[in-house]
Amino acid sequence: MNVEELILKGAQMIKESQKILVFSGAGLSTESGIPDFRSPGGIWDKYDPSEFYFQRIISDEKAREAYWKMSSEYWGVMRDARPNKAHLAIKTIEDAGKLLAIVTQNIDHLHHKAGNSPEKIIEIHGTAFSVSCLNCGKRYDREEIEKRIRDGVKVPYCDVCSGILKPDTISFGQAMPQDKMELAFKYASECDLCIVLGSSLVVYPAASIPSHAVQCGSRLIIINRTSTPLDPDADLVIHESVSKALDRMVEPIG
């Protein structure tokens, strides 16, 4: 099939489905101008990811300083990013009453900005838009902490208990949020169509969610520029721009 035929097939699959689980990865956000951490020219080309393991962040002041420098550098791009056509297409799926949930590996809040219902969005790798104290749990708006950093603070601490502050994202070596993972697997077992958008499906345990959906009888669409380990199990694979393909697919239900 050519791309046009693949898109038409995907549109038909969406039209026939009633409980759609969207699984989104970095390839969805790159089309909104947010660089992929792992791609050439990404943040891990500039920084050594081993410097930012959770245990180092909580045990070493210098590691915290380096972590905040890296994170703040990335924050401005993420804060100002806007949803692209694929994000808006997912909103169309929700408006049609077909969206079960969105499980996202992204920390950029773009599904929220696109207008999807917050209760349908499961951010399994957390969010960059808030900061929490690892000691007392007090939560801060990210921009409040970034203002402190712009004012010269290199390592911010909690103003209630002086505990370590960290963005609410999952770092290397940090435990995944059990409640969110359980909910994601629950939806994977219930959906009749899982659509993977812009994920290479190599980061576990997150990548096991679409696989679980297939095992439970769901059909699977993968839209990603490069191949994934789950391509052989998919009903439809499109190696194309996520926003171009999904935008076309939802036209019949829009």
Q: Would you name the residues annotated as active-site residues?
A: 125
Measured in degrees and rounded to the nearest 5, phi and psi for residue 182 equal: -60, -40
**Phi, psi (rounded to 5 degrees) for 106:** -85, 150
What backbone phi and psi angles, to 5 degrees, belong to 209?
Answer: -70, -50
Helix (H) or strand (E) holding 121: strand 121-123
d(CA 176, CA 125): 7
Distance CA 15, CA 11 (A): 6
Q: Quick one: residue 201, left, alpha or beta (phi over 0 = left, psi -120 to 50 = alpha)?
A: left
Beta strands across the sheet bearing 126-133 = 139-141, 126-133, 165-169
In this structure, are residues 230 and 202 in contact, taking their beta carbons and an 8 Å threshold?
Answer: no
